[in-house]
Chains A and B, each alone.
Chain A
Amino acid sequence: MRAALFALSLLLALAAPAAAEVKSVRLYADRSFGFFVGDLVNARLEIIADSASRLQTASLPRPGALDYWLDLRDVHVREQPIGDGLTRWDIELVYQLFYVALDVRNLQIPPFPLRFLREGESEIARAPAWTIGVSPLREVLPARRDNPTDYMRADRGVEQGDATTPAARAGIFAALAFGALALVAHDRGWPPFHRRRARVFAAAARRIAALTKGDGEASRRAAMLALHRAIDEAAGRRIFAEDLDAFLSSHAEFASVKEALGRFFNSSRALFFGVADAGGDLAATELLALAKTLAALERSVG
């Protein structure tokens, strides 16, 4: 709000009928003089009326050319109740001046009517006409120059911009982008977030080594199960005795221990499923040796 306006304030005598509820119409402008061609002229029209009144927006002046020397650029209305059953309408007006003055003179900004409706009756509030003083931009008769281009003013020099803010912003955004990239890489498992394939057989070998120290049926079963789970995990599915060939063809690194693996599966069948004559009982030391060999082969592929 231009509260500290210094310029003119016009109070219109309200020569309206008794039914009229428009209390006051005031116009505030920045200043009333010192305008040049191309200047924007800002003004605020303040109307106080009964809250029951409605401003007919169709009666507002339309932006566009008002005269050969004057354009209305923008109209903006704000409505605000101010108590006591009254409402204030602030109409911001932006004019632009195209008058090329050769001397200092006053021009009149034309008045316009505004229509208010109240209980089916309409009332006209008139925005006042006001004058602004325009001034010439150049001399009428400038000193003579030999070169016609000398009548023109020199171009403005190149501005030295301040690079501090953009550089700071670039730094911030680069940091953000890098952070986002790190998140994506973590999500997708790109380096350096790609995890090395878990060494399942190494873990199994450690577990089996611990279990084979204990003597007994339970620890033997647990040791067999540990190797089963490691094979399952390496394959990504459950591997049964009949799947051994398929497993070895997809994990060729273990092909060299095919025979030992076959014995392992056979003894597992005998142990867990009671398949008679499955061929060979795998001793605890052999089981541990097999697990260690598998772990070494697993390490060899990385």
Chain B
Amino acid sequence: MRPRSGSGVIRQQRVGPLPGIVAATSSLPTRLLDLFSVTDTAETDAVLADWRAKAQEFETRVARVVLGQNRVIRLVTIAIFARGHVLLEGDVGVGKTTLLRAVARVLGGAFSRIEGTVDLMPSDLLYHTYLADDGRPRVEPGPVLRHAEDLSIFFFNEINRARPQVHSLLLRLMAERSVTAFDRDYFFPALQVFADRNLVEREETFELPAAARDRFLMEISMKTPSDAAARRALIFDPRFHDVDRLLDEIGEPVFDYRALASVAELIQNRVHASETLEAYVAKLWDALLDPYAAGVVLPDVEMRGLVRGGASPRGVAFLVRAARVRAWLEGRDALTPEDIREIFLETMAHRIFVDPIYAMRGDDIVRDLCRAAFATVPAP
């Protein structure tokens, strides 16, 4: 995968793998890596219960570092076990990057990170070019390719600062978990893309295209913690002032990231949806596609023709996928409407596009629409 280099010197990488992680993950029991061989229901339940405990441990560890964001952490956990990509958005300094770095630590595996800038080009993600000591130009794998199959988390900071060319490369990376570089295809079976964007600046930013947003499983909005004790701790506790040292407190990864795909598969197969629930989700979907016909009413909004697009089948499939993980985390083997509702805004709101006449009202109208749909559609 690497072109021959005369000197064989690999330049220091922009972001190296986290020390100690590979060693730690390799020591995990290998039984979990072979989950597809698990066929017995009782054994499946035992494995899933085991992983639920790990997921709770994961949440606890992250919550120790990121205060007052329990719901966001829960959603990120759901995204990890649903194998979906996550876009975090929020104000500057609420802890988006800290959360993602903490998640990367606890998750293990190789971690790569890039900062979105206006002059970032797609090739910058794939290739690292430089002049070697002997004065010759070198092309080496860039942030995405460097760890190849081991890459578990690709963290795209300030994604809306990158140009649409970069977004389109990311699109393929997210949808197919593969890219073409050095004249061959690279596959990333364990890859999960985390991106963040802040919504404060509008200068020199590029709005993510709808197709790119649709490929994110969730768009999680992160706000300043509302809990007074957490707020005080964040201000006065020196622990939270040095992020690097804070992240060191997390310790070793809780589970093997390579097993996640199999566990996710198990969860999806094990958690079942009843006919009533299927009908409920279908009715919810109808209510979003044509709120007027479904009798959903918002004050001051003309409901006829309000929804212009979105709410794609992929979106609804993502929704159920995430809801199954939530049901599993709650210790259930069946989906309930609460599971759907809990993750609905984060998985669906960014896929729904309303009449441009309401553009000035931002995302609020979509959120209100979703809430109104839940208040209207009966379940069971």
What residues of chain A have their CB less than 8 Å away from a CB belonging to chain B? 224-225, 228-229, 232, 236-238, 240-243, 268-269, 271-276
Contacts and interface: CB of A to CB of B under 8 A. Distances in A.
Contacts of A269: 334, 336
Nearest to A271: B380
B338 A240 contact: yes
Interface string B273-295: 11011000000000000000000
A296 B112 CA distance: 63
24 contacts: A224-B380, A225-B380, A228-B380, A232-B378, A236-B375, A237-B375, A238-B375, A238-B376, A238-B377, A240-B336, A240-B337, A242-B338, A268-B380, A271-B380, A272-B380, A273-B273, A273-B276, A273-B277, A273-B336, A274-B272, A274-B274, A275-B332, A275-B334, A276-B333
A262 to B, nearest CB: 14
Contacts of B335: 273
B78 to A, nearest CB: 16
Contact of B274 (A240, A243, A272): A272
B341 interface: yes
B378 A228 contact: yes
Interface residues of B, number: 20
Contacts of A276: 333-334
A238 B378 contact: yes
Interface of B: 272-274, 276-277, 332-338, 341, 374-380
A240 B341 contact: yes
B334 A238 contact: no
Nearest to B327: A275
Nearest to A229: B378
A-B pairs, top 9 by smallest CB distance, nearest first, are A272-B380, A272-B276, A237-B375, A274-B274, A275-B334, A274-B334, A242-B338, A273-B274, A240-B338
Given A229-B378, A240-B336, A272-B380, 11 more contacts: A225-B380, A228-B380, A238-B375, A238-B377, A238-B379, A241-B338, A271-B380, A272-B274, A273-B273, A273-B337, A275-B334
A242 B337 CA distance: 10
A37 to B, nearest CB: 70
B377 to A, nearest CB: 7
